Structure 1
Amino acid sequence: MRALMQPLEAIADYKEIKRRLLKNRGVTVISGTLDAQKAHIASGLAEDFPVTLIIAENELKAKGLLEDYRLYDPQVMHYPARDMIFYQAEISGSLLTRQRMQVIKALTERKKVTVITSIGGCMDYLLPFRVLKKDMITLSVGDELDLTEMSRKLVRIGYERCGTVEEPGQFAVRGGILDVYSMTEENPWRIELWGDEIDDIRMFDSESQRSVTGTEKIVIYPATEDIGIDEPDFYKKATDTFLEYLGGRSIVFLDEPARLMENAKVLYDEFRMAFTHRLEQGKATPEQAERMISPEQLQYLLNMRNTVALCLMQMHKDGFHINGQYSVQVQAVNPYNNQFPLLVKDMQKWKKNGFRVVFLSTSRTRAKRLAGELFQEKINAFYSEDPERELQEGEVLVTYGRSSRGFAYPMQKFVLITESDVFGQSYRPKKKTRKSEGERLRDFSELHAGDYVIHEDHGLGIYRGIEKVEIDNIIKDYIKVDYAESGSLYLPATQLDMLQKYSGAEGKKPKLDRLGGKEWIKTK
C-alpha cells in the first residue's frame, strides 16, 4: 500500500541505502529499529530484489515477523528449521517438509518471493538446488509415460505407494490411472493414460473424488529434501545451505545479528555434542556428524551476500564485515487501554501538526465504523483499501490489516496504530471455524492431562502431559498431544504458544483431527 511506504521515502538516508544495496556485498547496519517496525523497513528496502530472506533468532520470532510482514506482502512464506538433534521425535516431519518444499517451489516458479526463517533454518546442509531440480518431474498431456518407471522415480524422491492417496507424499496406480498427492499442492493430481500416452491431467478432491480443475502440464516436486540419503555419496553431495538457494539477486535481513549468532552457537554446540555420543556408540557416521554448518562458516556466507542488519542499538563488528551504518528514528505507540477519548485527543493533535496516520483493523466492518466515529469527532478520517492512495497531511486512513504493534516516525510525521494498541494485547478477532477456540496458552498451569487442545497446524487433539526425551545424554521436554487413529505429536515445550485450550459445548465429546489429514486444513 502506497500510504505505508510514504514515510520511508521521506527518511534522509533511505534512497542512499537503496542505492548501496543494489551493489552491496557485506553487512549494512540500520540501527534504531523496533520489532514491530522491522517488517516495514525491510519490505521497503526489498522492493528492488526478486528474492528476500529475513532471518530471526528462533522459530517463535520468525512466526511473529511472518505475521507482521503479511501486511506488506500477503504471499510471504515461512521456511521452518529442522530439529537436527531430535529428528527421531519429530512427528510433524511431513508437514515441515511440505512447508519447506512449498518455499522451494516458490523460488523455482515465482518472480518475487519473500521468505522468513530462523537461524536454524540456514544451518543444515542440503543437496544443491540444481541437484534437487533434476529430480522434479514434469508431466504434460501428450507425453508418453511408463507407469512402472514412474513409480520407481516417485519412490526415489520420497513418495509412498498406497492403495488410495489421502495425504501429501503419496501416490497410487490403478490400471491406466496415476494419482499423485504432491507435497506442494492442496489437492492430488490424477493422470489418465490412453495406452502409454497421457490423455488427461486433473486435480481432484481426495475425499469426494470430484475433479477440481484440469491442466495441460504439472511439476511434481520431491517429497523429501534428502533424495538418495541411503546412497554412499549422499553426504558428499549435500554441500549447500538454504542461503545458496536464494540465487544472486537477493537480499538478506538479519533481525538482531548478535542474538542470531548466539543462538547459532547454541544449536551447533548441541548438535556436535549429540553426534559425538552417537559416533562413540556407533550410531552415526562421521559424514552425518558434519551435517550442520558452523557459526563461523555461516557468518562467512552472510558476509559474502547482500546483507542488512536490523538492530535496536548500534552494532559491533563481532566477525561481520560492516560496510555502512545508518540509523532511523522510530518510536513505539503508547497503549490506550480501551480509552477511545485518549485516542481521539492524540488524533486531533496529530491532525494539527500535519501527521499522516494509518489505523489497522482486522475487521473491515469495524474499520468502516471506526472511520465514521473519528470523522464525527472532526478528524479527517476515511476508510480505503486503495493500494495507490497517498495520504495528505492531517489525514487518517483506516484500513484492513494487522500488525503486532504500532510505531511512529516522528521526523517524517507518520504514525501506524493497531487494534492491539487501542484494545490491548489480548485483543483477537473471532475466527469462523467449526471448533470453538479458546485463549492461546501462556503457562503450563493452564493445562491438565486429558484436556482438549487445538494446535494451529494440526487441529484438535488431547494433551497428555510433558515427556522428557533423551538422546545422546541431551534431555529436552516435549509436549505430547494425541490425535485420531493413534497419532501422537511431540512438540518442544518452548512452543506452548502454538496450542489453544479447547472450549466447546459442555458434555459433548469433540471429534479429534488426524495428523496430516485434510479436515483441519479445510477448517482453517
Structure 2
Amino acid sequence: MNRILFDQFQRTEKFKKICSNYNKEKSQLIQGLNEEGLAYLACNLLDTSDKILILTSSEAKSKKYEEIIRAYTEHSERLQPKEFILYNVDALSKDVEYKRANLLNNILNKRKCIVTASINSIITRVMSKDRFKESIIELKYGDSYDLNELRSNLIKLKYERVDAIEGVGQFSVRGGIIDIFSPSEANPFRVEFFDDEVDSIRLIDLKTQRSVKNIKSAKILPCSDILFKKEEIKIILSEIEKDYDKQSQNQSLSKEAFKNLKNLYKSYQDKLMGGMGIENADLLIPFIKESFSNIIDYFEDDSILLLDEPERIFEELNDLNESFQLKYTELFERGEIFSNQSEVYISEHELLTKISKKPFISINGKEKIIKTDDSVHMLFKEAPSYYGKIEELSKDLNRLKYKGYKVDIILSTYESCRKLYNLLNDYECTTTLSKDTNAAESGQVVIAPGELTKGFEYYDNKLLVLTENEVLGSVKRKSRKTKKRKGAAIEIFTDLKVGDYVVHEHHGIGQYIG
C-alpha cells in the first residue's frame, strides 16, 4: 500500500476513536465524509482490518470508489452486478459470472482487500463460502487423478468443453493433455498426464499456445457463484412439480397461460434431468434458498462494513424488489414463472440481519433504518481549484502554512513535481520536493509523485491534498475525435490565456506564452 498521507491521519484522535469502537465491536455513525473522504478512510482502515466491504446505493458510486481507492492501494476490487433475466433463457453473457467467481476467491484467500459493491450487485444469493471452497480443484505436479472424473467435475463447475480453448471458462482434452482456463488466471493451464499422473503443469499463451512458465500446481475455480448438488436438483424438481400441479389447477388461468406453464415445466425437467442446468440459475435458488448465502457472508465477522448513506441503500433495495414483483406478477399471470420463484432477491430484513453481524460503519446516515452505538464527526471538503494560476496557489499555500496546515501536492511524474517546485519558489513559496512521498508535517508543503486524481481537505486535521486536477484542472481536456482535412488547422488552445500553466502528457508543467 502507498503509505502517503496515512500515518499522520492514523495519529488523529478521531481515527483512534473509530478503531477503538471497531475493537469493541461497536457500530458507529460517521458524518461529514465526502466521496474522497470515505475512500481515504477505507484505505486507512485496511491497517485495522484485512477485509473491508463498501456498500453503495448505485453502481456509479461503486465504480467511483473503486477508482479512488485504486490510486492509494493495489487491494481495490469491485463486485459487478450480474445479468439477471426473470424468465427462462438459453444463453447469458458469462464474463460477469467469471469476474464474480474470481472476486469471491479473492475475498476468501487474499490477505487484504477493499471491495466496493452496489446493492444491485449483492441483491441475489450465492453458494455458501464452504461450498465455494469445496468446489475448487487443485492439480499438483506428481499427483494422480482420474481423468474421466476430472472432466466430469469441470463440467459441474460450469466449464465448457471445446476443441481448442479461446477464452475463460473453457477446457479442451487431447489425449493426455488438458487445457483449462480458470477465471482466476490471465493465461490458461496446460496439464500433461503420463497415464493418470500429472507430468507437467504450464501456463500457456492463448494466441501462440507456447509456454509462459512451468508451475507446480494449478488452482481451478468454479465458473459461477451458483452451483447445485445432485440432491438439490432432485429437491428443485420435486418443488417445481408441486408448483406446476398447483398452478395448473387454477381455474382463472387462460389457455395460453396454461400452455406456457406446461412448456416451462417441461423445459425445466428436460434441462435439469439432463444435467444441463439453466442459464439464469438464480431462479432455482428460491426452491432451496436455505442452502444458499449472500456475498456479505464471505467476509469474516471481523471485517469492516462501510454503508454509504444507508437510507439510500435500503431505498434502492426496496425499489429493486418492487420492480421485481411487478415483473413477476405479469409473468405469473402468463404462466411463465412458478409461484415459489417470487423470492429471488434478498429482503430488507435479510440485509439488516446480515449487517448487524458485522462491525459496521454508517456513513452520513440518518439513523432511521439503522441505529448505531456511537458517532464521530469528520469534516472532509472538496479541495480548491487553481486552474493553472500559480501565483494564486502560492499565496494560498503561504497562508495555509502560517495556519499550521499540512499540504501534500501529488502530481503524476517527478518531473512535473520539480517544475512546480521551481515555479512556486519563484513566487517565494517554500516547499519540499520529495521522491519517496513523505507526507507533510504542520506548516509544510510537500510536492511528490503519485497516482491520485482528485484532492480533498480534511478540515479537522488541517490537511489539504492537491492533485493535477486542482492545480491545473481547467486546462486538462478530454481528447475529441476530429476529422483531419488537408490544409485545415486544428485549434486546441483557444481557451488558454498568456501566462496560464498547463500540464503536458509527456513534458509535465509548462507556461503558455502565446
TM-score (norm 2): 0.78
Q: Aligned with 2:127: secondary structure?
A: coil
* Residues 334-360 of structure 1: per-residue CA shift (max 9 Å, x gap): 222332222122122222333211112
Q: Is 2:321 the counterpart of 1:268?
A: yes
Once the 2 structures are TM-superposed, how far is the Cα of residue 506 of structure 1 from its aligned partner? Answer: 8.4
**Offset at residue 426 of structure 1 (A):** 7.9
Residues 403 and 279 from structure 1, CA distance in 2 versus in 1: closer, same or farther, beyond 3 angstroms?
Answer: farther
Report the CA distance between 1:504 and its aligned residue: 8.3
Matched, 1:406 2:455: yes
Q: 1:336 to 1:185 in 2, by over 3 A?
A: same
Shift, 1:226, TM fit: 2.0
Partner in structure 1 of residue 347 of structure 2: 294
What corresponds to 1:18 in structure 2? 19
Q: CA deviation at 1:83?
A: 4.1
Matched, 1:242 2:327: no
What SS is found at the alignment partner of 2:117? strand
- Residues 164 and 172 in structure 1, CA contact (< 8 A), matched pair in contact too: yes
1:503–1:103 CA distance, 2 compared to 1 (3 A): farther
Residue correspondence of structure 1 range 264-413 to structure 2 within 5 A: 264-311=317-364, 315-386=365-436, 389-403=438-452, 405-413=454-462
Change (3 A) 1:376 1:20: same
| Letter of the 2:445 counterpart | V
Superimposed CA distance per residue, residues 50-103 of structure 1 (whole angstroms, 9 cap, x where no aligned partner): 211011111111010011111332221111122434798999832211221221
Q: 1:84 to 1:318 in 2, by over 3 A?
A: farther
Render the CA deviation track for 1:428-476: whole Å, top value 9, x for unaligned: 69xxxxxxxx55xxxxxxxxxxxxxxxxxxxxxxxxxxxxxxxxxxxxx
SS at match of 2:6: helix
* Cα 1:154–1:385 shift into 2, 3 Å: farther
- Secondary structure of the residue aligned to 1:359 is strand
What CA distance in whole angstroms lies between the structure 1 residues aligned with 2:145 and 2:118? 41
> For residues 504 and 215 of structure 1, what CA distance do their matches in structure 2 show?
50
Alignment check: 8 A CA contact 1:127 1:225 kept: yes
Q: Which has the higher strand share?
A: 1
Matched residues in 2 for 1:504 and 1:89: separation?
43
Matched, 1:30 2:30: yes
Q: SS at the partner of 2:316?
A: helix
Shift of 1:46: 3.5
Q: Which amino acid in 2 is paired with 1:300?
A: T
* Rounded Cα–Cα distance in structure 1 between residues aligned with 2:190 and 2:29: 50
User: How many angstroms does 1:201 deviate by?
Assistant: 0.4
Counterparts in 2 of 1:367 and 1:298: CA distance versus 1, 3 Å: same
Distance 1:108 1:42, change over 3 A: closer
- How far the C-alpha of 1:330 sits from its partner, in A, is 2.3
Counterparts in 2 of 1:427 and 1:326: CA distance versus 1, 3 Å: same
- Contact preservation (8 Å) 2:56, 2:62: yes
Q: Which has the larger radius of gyration?
A: 2
Cα 1:202–1:115 change in 2 (3 A) is: same
Query: How far did residue 291 of structure 1 move?
Result: 1.8
**Structure-2 residue corresponding to 1:5:** 6
C-alpha distance in 2 between matches for 1:14 and 1:178: 52
Task: Provide the residue aligned with 1:178 in structure 2.
Answer: 178
SS at 1:70's partner residue? helix
Do the aligned partners of residues 108 and 425 (structure 1) sit closer, same or farther apart at CA in structure 2, a change above 3 Å counting?
Answer: farther
On the 8 A contact 1:121/1:242 being kept in 2, the answer is: no
Displacement after TM superposition at 1:262 (Å):
1.3
Secondary structure, counterpart of 2:97 in structure 1? helix
Quote how far apart the aligned CAs of 1:172 are.
Answer: 0.4
- Structure 2: segments with no counterpart, 5+ residues: 237-283, 487-514
* Distance in 2 (alpha carbons) for counterparts of 1:177 and 1:398: 55
- In structure 2, C-alpha distance between the alignment counterparts of 1:503 and 1:143, rounded to whole Å: 60
Which stretch of the first structure deviates more once superposed, 129-138 or 227-236? 227-236
SS of equivalent residue, structure 1 residue 405 = coil
Residue identity matched to 1:307:
F
Distance 1:108 1:133 in 2: 8
Q: TM-score, normalised by structure 1?
A: 0.76
CA contact (8 A) 2:439 2:446 kept: no
Aligned positions, number: 432
Counterpart contact for 1:336–1:342, Cα < 8 Å = yes
Paired with 2:484 and 2:159, the residues of 1 have a C-alpha distance of 40
Residues 313-349 of structure 1, C-alpha deviations (whole Å, 9 max, x = no match): xx33222131111101222222223322221221222
1:385 is displaced (CA, Å) by: 4.9
1:412 aligned partner, one-letter code: N
Cα pair distance change 1:341/1:210, threshold 3 Å = same
Taking only the aligned residue pairs, the percentage that are identical comes to 25
SS of the residue aligned with 1:13?
A: helix
1:192, distance to aligned residue in structure 2 (A): 0.6
Q: For the residues of structure 2 that align with 1:11 and 1:182, how far apart are their CA atoms? A: 44
Q: Distance in 2 between matches of 1:503 and 1:97?
A: 38
Distance 2:228 2:441 in 1: 59
| Residues 276, 303 of structure 1: alpha-carbon distance in 2 compared, 3 angstrom cutoff | same
Q: Secondary structure at the match of 1:124?
A: coil
- Aligned to 1:322, the other structure's residue is in SS state coil
Deviation at 1:263, TM superposition (A): 1.1
174-183 or 351-360: bigger deviation:
351-360
One-letter identity of the residue aligned with 2:107: L
Relative to its length, the structure with more helix (as a share) is 2
| Preserved CA contact (<8 Å) 1:420 1:426 | no
Q: For the Cα contact (< 8 Å) 1:303–1:320, is it kept in 2?
A: no
What is aligned with 1:95?
95
SS at match of 1:172: strand
Distance 1:506 1:109, change over 3 A: farther
The SS at the match of 2:126 is: coil
Counterpart code for 1:326: V
Shift in Å, 1:390: 4.3
Q: What pairs with 1:20-99 in structure 2 (closer than 5 Å)?
A: 20-25=21-26, 27-85=27-85, 93-99=93-99
